[in-house]
Amino acid sequence: MKSENLSKILKSRGFKNIELDSIIETKHILKRSGGNFRQYLFSFYDQNNTEYSLRSDLSIASVLKLIKDKTQNKIKWSYSGEVYRKQNNNKSPIIKQTGYEIFNSKNKEKDDYEIIKTSLDIFKKSKFKRCELSLSNIEIFNLLVSKLTLLPLRWREKIQRHFSREIYFDQLLRKLSDNKDINPKLVEQDKILAEKLRKKDLTKNYSGRSLREILERFDLKNYQDPRNISNKKSVKIIKDYLRISCPIEKAPKILNSFFQKNNLNIFISDDYFPIKKNNIKNVKVNFNPNINRQISYYTGMTFNIKVNFNNRKEIFLSGGRFDNLIKDLGNKKDLNAVGAAINRAII
């Protein structure tokens, strides 16, 4: 698809094209992406020792522009340009991106649908004939985990927090399911040592934490909120949920049956998802909770569109709702947002 045709579609849907800064303070990128993303950045320091990076993602530049402009009304922006990331392979560090977003919407459900509808309109004007649209919602996963009260609270929070880090997430579940990382003999030795340490100066700091804080954390793990064998059942529920895949019109019934089977007080209504029927020409619409997991800032609806490209399925575009990101990056007020980005490498 030619860039001018893509711009024409977005303009006809009311998205205003904007220009974005090429250089961003590194702290903003790391706040959104985490410290492990630093290895991919092209960064430098100015004369005031402030670290900057070439933009690695256009959506964060868009949010920073929104904050700078102090815009409080509903707006619809689109943008295109290059981003820069160090690659671990022979791919170019220059990546072309096109995105479109709706900020400060008053009707989230309506704007979720508009982003998906715009995405489908772009697909229909592309060279591809068929696609698979997968829908999910991070809220369901977070609610599911919060209902697993047999899991220690700190572990429920950790599982929710690290959902986007798939390898580490799997390691957490493995620890919870078998407890093989816990050596009972060492635990008993640590308990004896802890009793001795309670008699010392509790205000003394060790690696930035007071002895009192260290002992409180130790007590939480070993006495107040310990792991136990019942964790295995909770882990199975999480894994089974992430394996669910079904046509979107069957999703509420299948999900509610799953929640009822596992004695979880969760109910999904028939009109929960932005698209409710799998009756779009040449588009297969599924519910799949295991999509877009690498994006850590999604808070609600997520989706992607996959097409057959060079004999394999590739993501044509993806998006979702990110209501917390704007305040996380420094805005004084909460402003909700939803958007999508196109994989320019295959269009």
Q: Identify whether residues 12 and 114 lie together within a single domain.
A: yes
126 membership: H or E segment, kind and range: none
Question: Which of 216, 235, 254 finishes a domain?
Answer: 235
Query: Any idea which of 95-99, 191-195, 232-236, 239-243 has the lowest mean pLDDT?
Result: 191-195
Same domain, 198 and 283: no
Among the candidates 203, 235, 267, a domain finishes at 235
Q: Are 217 and 134 found together in one domain?
A: no
Q: What is the CATH number of the domain that holds 105?
A: 3.30.930.10
Give the CA angle between residues 25, 28, 30 to the nearest 5°. Answer: 110
Judged against a pLDDT cut of 60, whether residue 230 lies above it is answered with no
Q: Of the residues 213, 235, 257, which one is the last residue of a structural domain?
A: 235
Task: List, for residues 290-313, the tens digit of each pLDDT value.
Answer: 999 988 889 999 999 999 998 899
Same domain membership, residue 213 and residue 285: no
| 111: CB partners within 8 A, 6+ apart | 102, 105, 338
Examine the domain organization and report whether 262 and 328 are in the same domain. yes
Let me know whether 323 and 175 are in one domain. Answer: no
Number of domain units in the chain:
2
Same domain for 107 and 85?
yes
pLDDT tens digits along 106-153: 899 999 999 999 999 999 999 999 999 999 999 999 999 999 998 888
pLDDT band at 181 (very low <50, low <70, confident <90, very high): low
Residues 177 and 41 in one domain: no
* Average pLDDT estimate for 210-230: 73
For residue 156, pLDDT beyond 90: yes
Same domain, 60 and 128: yes
Q: Which domain holds residue 9?
A: 3-144+236-343
CA dist 323 to 33, 44, 155, 156, Å?
Answer: 15, 30, 24, 21
In a shared domain, residues 171 and 265: no
Q: Are both 199 and 171 inside the same structural domain?
A: yes
| 124 plus 169 within the same structural domain | no
